[in-house]
């Protein structure tokens, strides 16, 4: 699972690569057309229009390939990493903590805590699930990276070291995606 910072850097590098390759393609068109193309402030002619369109199409094509290669969200790619994906900690809802099994009322998911340390999850199945059996991700992991986990699991825990920050239910994740 990649963090938000890694996705921002991937988006920046992919965007810069697409920009450089687009400019290189435009320059090659400029040389092939005899170097007389003008498109911009000083003038305008047909070879210049071809160079501009060549840049636009090649830049877009390389962005499309880069999106498939590095798998970053469109907003992160198109803004060169300025708009980053949501971290998992922002989607996580805090779980109620239960000190003793008798205190659990049977409504929703709760975190079973013994001696101040979380040990299991209540409410996902008919028994206590140890935390090792529940999928968990670090708080700074990008929420867009969690899709494969939610295909198999109804809930993902968000942790920061040993501390459980919260949980993301499947319904909330798909609402975040707009599905």
Asked if residue 151 lies in contact with residue 132, where contact means CB atoms within 8 angstroms, the answer is no
Bridge partners of 157?
136, 167
Phi, psi of 140 (to 5 degrees): -90, 5
Confidence band, pLDDT 50/70/90 cuts, at residue 55:
very high
Threshold 0.85, pTM exceeds = no
Tell me the per-residue pLDDT of 8-53, one tens digit each, with 9 for 90 and over.
999 999 999 999 999 999 999 888 888 777 766 667 788 888 888 9
Q: Where are the domains of the chain?
A: 4-78, 88-177
> CATH assignment of 88-177, given 3.40.50.300, 1.10.1200.10, 3.20.20.30, 3.10.580.10?
3.10.580.10
Tell me the per-residue pLDDT of 110-128, one tens digit each, with 9 for 90 and over.
877 888 788 888 877 767 7
């Amino acid at each position: 699972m990649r963090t938000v910072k890694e996705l921002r850097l991937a988006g920046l590098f992919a965007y810069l690569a697409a920009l450089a390759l687009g400019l290189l393609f435009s320059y090659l068109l400029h040389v092939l057309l005899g170097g007389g193309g003008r498109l911009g402030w000083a003038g305008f002619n047909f070879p210049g229009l071809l160079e501009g369109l060549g840049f636009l199409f090649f830049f877009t094509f390389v962005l499309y390939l880069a999106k498939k290669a590095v798998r970053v969200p469109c907003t992160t790619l198109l803004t060169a990493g300025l708009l980053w994906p949501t971290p998992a900690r922002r989607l996580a809802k805090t779980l109620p903590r239960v000190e003793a099994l008798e205190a659990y009322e049977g409504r929703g998911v709760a975190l079973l805590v013994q001696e101040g340390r979380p040990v299991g999850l209540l409410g996902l199945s008919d028994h206590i699930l140890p935390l090792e059996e529940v999928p968990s991700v670090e708080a700074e992991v990008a929420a867009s990276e969690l899709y494969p986990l939610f295909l198999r699991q109804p809930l993902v825990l968000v942790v920061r070291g040993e501390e459980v920050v919260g949980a993301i239910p499947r319904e909330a994740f798909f609402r975040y995606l707009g599905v």
